[in-house]
Structure 1
């Protein structure tokens, strides 16, 4: 029976964590700040995409009426 994909995901996360820390010269505080900033950027992008989709659906609904 194959091992669950959790093991490969865990390894992927370990590698990504090591890379993020290395990009911040081993400074864990800088790494956390960078990840928080990246997360906030992505949250903003998601909100903008949701707004754009809502606008598109509203226009399509109006065009169909």
Structure 2
């Protein structure tokens, strides 16, 4: 089983639909939609950082950027 799966590139239509949904969710205010997306992105980055600290370097086999630096392992 391949641990790194390729994600298909979103199409222009997918991006347009997602943008329209984000703006609609914020009452039609594009500025509020951008702020909400920034907050959501920060939340996801925080979760990812937490998961990176919990995954062993051996298990990740160097697939997680920054894992060595976060654990304080010496460079090769």
TM-score normalised over the length of structure 2: 0.60
2:50 corresponds to: 48
Which contiguous aligned blocks of 4+ residues in structure 1 show a shift greater than 2 angstroms?
Answer: 54-57
TM-score normalised over the length of structure 1: 0.69
Unaligned ranges ≥5, structure 2: 1-7, 60-76
Alignment length (residue pairs): 52
1:37 is the counterpart of 2:39: yes
Q: Quote the Cα distance in structure 1 between the aligned partners of 2:32 and 2:49.
A: 26
1:63 corresponds to: none
Would you tell me which structure has more helix in proportion to its own residues?
1
Q: Which has the larger radius of gyration?
A: 1
Unaligned ranges ≥5, structure 1: 58-65
Provide the alpha-carbon RMSD of the alignment.
2.4
Q: Quote the Cα distance in structure 1 between the aligned partners of 2:58 and 2:47.
A: 16
1:10: how far off?
1.0
1:14 corresponds to: 16
